[in-house]
Amino acid sequence: MSHNSTAGKIITGAVVMAAISAAFIAGSETIYQSLSRIGRPISEEPIYTPGVYTEEENGYGGPVTVTIKVTDREILSVKADGANETDGIGSKAVNQLPLMMVKRQTCNVDGISGATKSSAAVKTAAAKALAHARGEEYVEEKPAGFVTPDHMADGTYKYEQGFDDSGYNNIVTLEIKNGKVAACSWDALNQDGVYKSQLCMNGEYVMTENGPTWDEQAKALAQYVIENQSIENLADSNGYTDQVASVSINIFPFINGIKSCMMSAAGIEE
């Protein structure tokens, strides 16, 4: 065989391989999508209007945007953007929940531990987008017995826990105007008739040398309620919160007080 003939076959083979590679690359996205569908619970009946849907919900640090691409029967992709969510905490929810949603073909997935607010934002925005894709109006689900300000009568409501083992009577007040929380506060009175806020101001109730005082933390919680109009998922099972960065104290007395005031405002007996 001549050298020229061998060289020609090598060149021809290279051209064929290049063509096959180009075809594979061009179809790689389709191939990847086909492989990634393995194990997905894809609907047998049309449930969505194909397209791309984007919705937004407030997270811990700011707005969280979720964009979902669907066919008539399945969720193709979910992307979340929450640039202001806490790095390493809220960012986990933003990065991980979309993958879980595609795999399970639903927005009803478990949240990320320690990132309650961020997880809720991603899941709610996704639920809104999917409702839109189904041609439905999104209806927010609330746990049984949950009370929102929309159900409350205007007025000022007060809760007193009574003196606890530490000798303080926790007092929470809630003011409702036009169906919304307009103001709230948390303080605690000792048996000498002096409030914790006053003790903090006098330097007589000190928690740490450099951290926020008890009174400052109580005010931060009150501000959270005013801004979010809710205490849902504010406390974990032990009574602490990861929703307000400056708060390290146990907030069960505050949560109980707000719930009691809400129920009074809604005309519900405890």
Q: Identify the pLDDT of residue 5.
A: 52
Q: What percentage of the chain carries pLDDT values higher than 70?
A: 81
Find out whether 209 and 161 touch, Cβ atoms under 8 Å: no
Strand partners, 57: 64
Q: Identify the pLDDT of residue 82.
A: 93
Residue 188 lies inside a defined structural domain of this protein? yes
pLDDT surpasses 90 at 152: no
Among 86, 109, 133, the domain-final residue is 133
Could you read off the pLDDT of 27-71 as tens digits, one per residue? 444 444 444 555 567 888 999 999 999 999 988 888 999 999 999
| C-alpha pair distances (Å), 152 with each of 72, 102, 173, 176 | 41, 39, 14, 7
The structure tokens 């929810």 sit at 93
Q: Which of these ranges, 12-16, 58-62, 174-178, has the smallest mean pLDDT? A: 12-16
pLDDT surpasses 90 at 118: no
Q: Identify the pLDDT of residue 175.
A: 96
Host domain of residue 122:
51-133
Q: Which of these ranges, 38-47, 102-111, 144-153, 164-173, has the smallest mean pLDDT? A: 144-153
CA-nearest of 171, 215, 172 to 196 is: 215
CATH code at 237?
A: 3.90.1010.20
Are residues 204 and 243 located together in one domain of the fold? yes
Are residues 255 and 160 located together in one domain of the fold? yes
Among 98, 133, 168, the domain-final residue is 133
pLDDT surpasses 60 at 102: yes
Question: Computed from CA positions of residues 231, 235, 240, 246, in that sequence, does the dihedral angle turn out positive or negative?
Answer: negative
Given pLDDT bands bounded at 50, 70 and 90, which one contains residue 270?
A: low
Residue 101 lies inside a defined structural domain of this protein? yes
Are residues 30 and 122 located together in one domain of the fold? no
Are residues 170 and 256 located together in one domain of the fold? yes
pLDDT surpasses 70 at 22: no
Are residues 153 and 249 located together in one domain of the fold? yes
Are residues 193 and 123 located together in one domain of the fold? no
| Domain count for the chain | 3
pLDDT surpasses 50 at 237: yes
